[in-house]
Amino acid sequence: MLSVTSSSVQQERLALGRRLREIRKDAGLTARELASRADWHESKCSRLENGRTPPSDADVRTYTGLCAAQDQTADLIATARGIEGAYVQWRRMERAGLKRVQQSVAPLFERTRRFRVYQSWVIPGLLQSAAYTRAVLSTVAHLRDVSDSADIDDAVGVRMDRQRILHSGDHRFAMLVEEWVLRTVIGDNDTMAGALGHLISAASLPSVSLGVIPLGRPRGAGWPVESFTIYDEAQVNVELVSAHLTVTQPGEIAEYAKAFAELSAKAVYGTEARSLITAAIDALG
């Protein structure tokens, strides 16, 4: 199974560093010569070319300017920005408020036709009740010291409005949750009971397939991993504890698709899934 960190980002930094090294060598410069001409510390070239330091726009312009490779400047800057945008700390994303975070994904949701969602933490966002979403976002705001009550209310409104996508167009949603997600009380018992009732209703929609992976089921290949969403075959968004990871490399997307298939094979559906949800409601008393 997967062991996802920011390693894919580091690999892309290394690839960019190799491109910078090739440009320098094609110009007939040593790393020390380039650093001297750029008025940098002599170790900076090594850090950039070995992926230890991400290059700024100014660094790229200096590199290409001194190496007479200005025709590659725009492409290198775009590549560097894309790499740094792939691994974003939650605190950085949420700095402008939770509403802005919710709004930022709207274009991605609109253009995606096939969603594959695995959640090992909470009920998937598209299947959440308003009260459950408010409880989740309130917890996030408290833990990361971001937003205020008005921003949370606005963010809940944006997420609830997004659920229109479940009823429109030709979108299809394959959702997987671990049974412990159903048993983990978010908010209070009333909030959780309402959320589970809402989940049963949402799972009955023609566009939605909901699978629940039962507690105690032998796992084998379908080992629990971090929560992730696959958008068509275009990208994967991964929820890490500290950051949000965007995966776009075809080979890595294929790994997530394989993981989703393995996890799907461990899940129960239909009547069996509803029984697990109902049991979780009953356990709330």
H or E stretch covering 243 = strand 243-247
Residues 108 and 207 in one domain: yes
Could you tell me which residues come within 8 angstroms of residue 269 by beta carbon, excluding any fewer than 6 positions away? 209, 210, 211, 212
Domain span including residue 55? 7-86
In 3D space, the residue among 238, 227, 225, 197 whose CA is nearest the CA of residue 124 turns out to be 227
Structure token pair of residue 33:
């010569």
Q: Are 277 and 182 in contact (CB under 8 A)?
A: yes
What confidence category does residue 160 fall into, taking pLDDT thresholds of 50, 70 and 90? very high
Same domain? For 50 and 175 the reply is no
Q: Is residue 92 part of a domain?
A: no
**What is the structure's pLDDT at 243?**
59
E strands, 106-181, in order: 114-119, 172-178
CA atoms within 13 A of residue 283's CA, in its CB half-sphere = 14
**Which residue's structure tokens are 């949420």?**
94
Q: Do 117 and 62 share a domain, yes or no? A: no
Q: What is the CATH number of the domain that holds 32?
A: 1.10.260.40
- In this structure, the chain runs to a length of 285
Residue 56 lies in a domain: yes
Q: How far apart are CA 157 and CA 105, in angstroms?
A: 14
Beta strands, E only, 54-207? 87-89, 114-119, 172-178
In this structure, the answer to whether residues 242 and 113 fall within a common structural domain is yes
Model confidence band, residue 186 (pLDDT cutoffs 50, 70, 90): very high
Distance CA 156, CA 142 (A): 16
Task: Convert the pLDDT of each residue in 37-82 to its tens digit.
Answer: 999 998 999 999 998 888 888 999 999 999 999 999 988 887 787 6
Predicted local distance difference test score (pLDDT) of residue 193: 97
Shared domain for 260 and 199, answered yes or no, is yes
Number of domains in the chain: 2
Q: Which helix (H) or strand (E) holds 258?
A: helix 250-266
Sort 40 into a burial class: Cβ within 10 Å, 0-12 / 13-18 / 19+. Answer: middle
Region of poorest pLDDT, from 54-58, 231-235, 249-253: 249-253
Domain match, 198 and 242 both = yes
Residue 33 maps to a domain:
yes
Q: What is the mean pLDDT of residues 206-228?
A: 89
**Contact status, residue 120 vs residue 227, Cβ threshold 8 Å:** yes
Query: Under a CB-based contact definition with an 8 Å cutoff, are residues 66 and 45 in contact?
Result: no
Q: What is the domain-level CATH number for residue 238? A: 3.30.870.10
* pLDDT for 147 beyond 70: no
Position 90 scores a pLDDT of 45
Residue 195 lies in a domain: yes
Which positions ≥6 away from 47 have C-beta within 8 Å? Answer: 53
| Average pLDDT score over residue span 128-144 | 87
Q: What percent of the chain has pLDDT over 90?
A: 58
> Are 75 and 105 members of one domain?
no
Residues 14 and 111 placed together within one structural domain of the fold: no
**Residues 110 and 52 placed together within one structural domain of the fold:** no
Listed residues 86, 113, 145: the one ending a domain: 86
Global confidence as pTM? 0.72
| Top-confidence residue, 90 or 260 | 260
Q: What is the pLDDT of residue 194?
A: 98
